[in-house]
Structure 1
Amino acid sequence: MASPSTALPGRHGAPGSGARRERRASRRFPAVDGLAIIGLSLTLALTGCTEKISEQDDVTMPTSTGSTASTLVTSAPLETATAAQTLPVYWLGRSNDDVFLFREFFPTAATDDPIVAALHTMMSAKPSDQDYFSLWNTPSRLGASVSAKNVITLDVSADAFGQKMDQGIADRSVSQLVYTATAAAAMAGLIDASSAVQVTVLVDGHTGFNAFGHVPLDKPLTRNPAFVAPVWIIDPANGSTYRTLPLKVKGQGVSPTGTLAWSLSHVKGGEVSDTYMTGTVSIPQGPNELGEFNFNLVPPPGSYQLSVYIVDPLVPGRQLGLDNKIVTISQP
């Protein structure tokens, strides 16, 4: 990836480089008595808690984004149960002047509690895509349980909330917690994905904590669809290298027309240069419906920036909900 002095246009700069550049970029547990707890009620005793150092623009966001992309996602369906031992983790990421939630997957051991493991990764690990970020601190304690009423209860130590941020980022960070917990529970088959699921957050065993100084945790929480990225590229992963073709592109998006635009640009000497090819891809669900998109590319060997976005119907040339990845095609 590019060094701070040669950061790619449209990409975030490396940590410490100043202001951010524009965004570039089943295992089931048996049910028990109806009033009992199902799944694991587990507390992690974590040591070596360290605070993350965040860039100033990560902790703030505009009060008004002026982007229609932030209102496109109106529902946020749960992930589906799977036997694969992977952890879904949501991160924050910038697109245009807004901040959205993006998901990555991480490996896990079969013996791990899926909810606790996913949240611990979210609070302690780094995203695979360097354009994503998280402002949670590693907690000294973290527990999770699931009731027969489809309620996930989390118990987090107060030291996880040490970062300073504004209201907008605080709202999104709490949603990041909710999305990660519900995704992990759904993929592990711990909840009924066909019914509404709620998340109750306790801090040191108590309700009513004011998260990050802005969000009272005094009632059950649900997924807020407005925070889901309107476009995100799931595959290929940022920085990946492929030796076989076609390059299979997979992602999730929504647009007023049911169509997204994409481009593939050369990357030379750490800089994005000329556009090699462009095109469009349809979202099978149609206009204004969130759905998965797929298309294949067969470029010659080289490094490229893959971009997928919504064409702004009001401003020609403006790219809404922009997400992109750097990918290398090598000789077979």
Structure 2
Amino acid sequence: MRGLQLSLNQTQKIRLQKALETLEYLSSKANSNASVTVADTIPVNYEDGVLKGHGTAENDGEVVATLCGVVERVNKLIYVRTLRARYKPEIGDIIVGRVIEVAPKRWRLEINFSQDAVLMLSSMNLPDGIQRRRTAVDELNMRSIFEENDVICAEVRGFQHDGSLHLQARSEKYGKIERGQLLTVAPYLVKRRKQHFHHLEQYGIDLILGCNGFIWVGEHVEAKDDMIEDRASKSEQQNAKSSKYSMSLEEQEKTYTPLETRQNICRTANAVRVLSSLGFSITVEVIIETVELSISLNLDIHEMLGAEFCVLVAEGEAERRRRLMKKKG
């Protein structure tokens, strides 16, 4: 168990152990041909030619695994993809990060990687929405765009010749994200998919599953495609920021996140925490199922982090996969 410190009674321990054993059995059965451990022989066709990739080696004329994981084949290339590994950036990855430094012409971000990432001033949309060359004035106003501790969503652009990881935020869907919670999970629990931005309409929240293991759960923000509307909203935000302390209490209350939305954010965040502690892959479908289970059981938000609910989630996942295996069989 990772993340949550659960105090399980004897019955709960037995139920959880049984559920996890069922999940392990079903997983090994589904991936019996692909799963390997260290020193396992990987069947290959030498007549077609073989390229040995990461996690493989040759021993007595056979290709053997040097890592535990799943065998992947791309044309002639064979490699082992580890199931539990640190985040390895790939071009196009959607990531969530936190600004730790405002440097000349760039922001430095913590992204749950072995080194910090860099977002250049030239690699993002300016607040006015106009595509133009960056000037000295833009560089002086960098703190008005992002400052330390701001949470940002961006895309991996690639590694530069100096070895640094560069990001870009050239679309309206990227940039600063506010009014929510930032969660950290093991990166291998978040699989790369076509869509990492999710709007959960029924809860009025946005969910961003960062490939780097940073997950954002926050109030839904309407994306405006019209450039004129976008400029107007940006200027309104800047004016609101400058007059923040001169606003009356009534005016400030209008900008607050509604209580129901905040409760939905906390409930969804706790669902992510439970799934992470159980070591389950985190997808939007599983998160919604976990949230719905907590609502159907009429649990308070804090009760989701209790031992009984974690056991129920594990048992529910075991049952779901068992039904899925029967349908395939």
Verify same fold: TM over 0.5.
no
Per the shorter chain, which TM-score range?
under 0.3
- Give the TM-score taking structure 1 as reference length: 0.21
Query: Which structure has the bigger radius of gyration?
Result: 2
- Give the TM-score taking structure 2 as reference length: 0.22
